[in-house]
């Protein structure tokens, strides 16, 4: 199997293209300071990740800014501090401020020359539009949790993705799903019959941060530490 065998790259955004953990942690700093939380960054992100996954499962139709605000509200209660509703709302609105990984834009611009590019993201349309300005490319289709009414790893999200790509004229076997989260993306992509490329942004680091670990390690077809590595691997294939 080669990267050049595929015609469509479908992407998770947050954790894969956008550095969501750095963005999250920066947006959580006011709460951490108010609550005098002494946990290390990875532990803080793990607490967020548990709350986020539970809230996504409980309220699949809730828009992501409201969901983030609710998780922020829960963390404040957990850590024994009372904040204004505006503070929770500010955290919910922070997504467009989250930075892209340094390699993302150049890699996407290179890959756009050879593939259709599609987003499958656990956010709302407005939040993704803010992030898209950091990514440097136009996507051929954008599928958000707002459009679908559920959050990954719900199988509905991948059925919706496959249908969206079919409207572009491509079959599932032509799709390579590209993502960081084994839990949110690779396990359900495998169940949907899609090939996948793991962008292992956390390689060499202890702990899972804000991303839950799957019960069993799912299959993936390619593994790269960064999007830059993926683009370079494709370029090597073409030269060979």
Active site residues: 12
Nearest to 100 by CA among 200, 20, 24: 20
Beta partners for 223?
198
For residue 85, what are its two tokens?
A: 């509703």
Tell me the three state secondary structure of residue 219.
coil
Radius of gyration over every alpha carbon of the chain, rounded to an integer in angstroms: 18
Distance in angstroms (rounded) separating the CA atoms of residues 27 and 64: 15
**Cβ count within 10 A of residue 155:** 12
Nearest to 145 by CA among 57, 49, 25: 57
Distance in angstroms (rounded) separating the CA atoms of residues 157 and 147: 9
CB of 9 closer than 8 Å to CB of 118: yes
């Amino acid at each position: 199997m080669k990267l050049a065998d595929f015609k469509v790259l479908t992407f998770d955004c947050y954790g894969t293209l956008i550095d969501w953990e750095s963005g999250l942690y920066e947006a959580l700093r006011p709460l951490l300071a108010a609550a005098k939380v002494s946990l290390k960054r990875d532990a803080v992100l793990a607490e967020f990740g548990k709350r986020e996954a539970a809230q996504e499962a409980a309220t699949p139709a809730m828009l992501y800014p409201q969901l983030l605000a609710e998780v922020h509200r829960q963390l404040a209660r957990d850590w024994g501090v009372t904040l204004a509703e505006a503070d929770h709302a500010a955290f919910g609105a922070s997504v467009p401020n989250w930075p892209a990984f340094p390699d993302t834009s150049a890699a996407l611009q290179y890959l756009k020359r050879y593939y259709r590019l599609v987003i499958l993201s656990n956010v709302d349309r407005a939040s993704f539009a803010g992030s898209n300005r950091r990514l440097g490319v136009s996507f051929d289709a954008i599928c958000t949790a707002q459009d679908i009414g559920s959050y990954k790893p719900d199988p509905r999200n991948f059925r919706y993705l496959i249908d969206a790509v079919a409207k572009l004229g491509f079959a599932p076997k032509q799709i390579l799903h590209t993502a960081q989260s084994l839990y949110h993306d690779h396990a359900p992509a495998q169940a949907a019959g899609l090939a996948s490329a793991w962008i292992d942004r956390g390689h060499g680091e202890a702990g899972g941060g804000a991303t839950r670990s799957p019960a069993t390690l799912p299959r993936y077809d390619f593994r790269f530490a960064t999007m830059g590595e993926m683009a370079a691997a494709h370029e090597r294939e073409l030269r060979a």
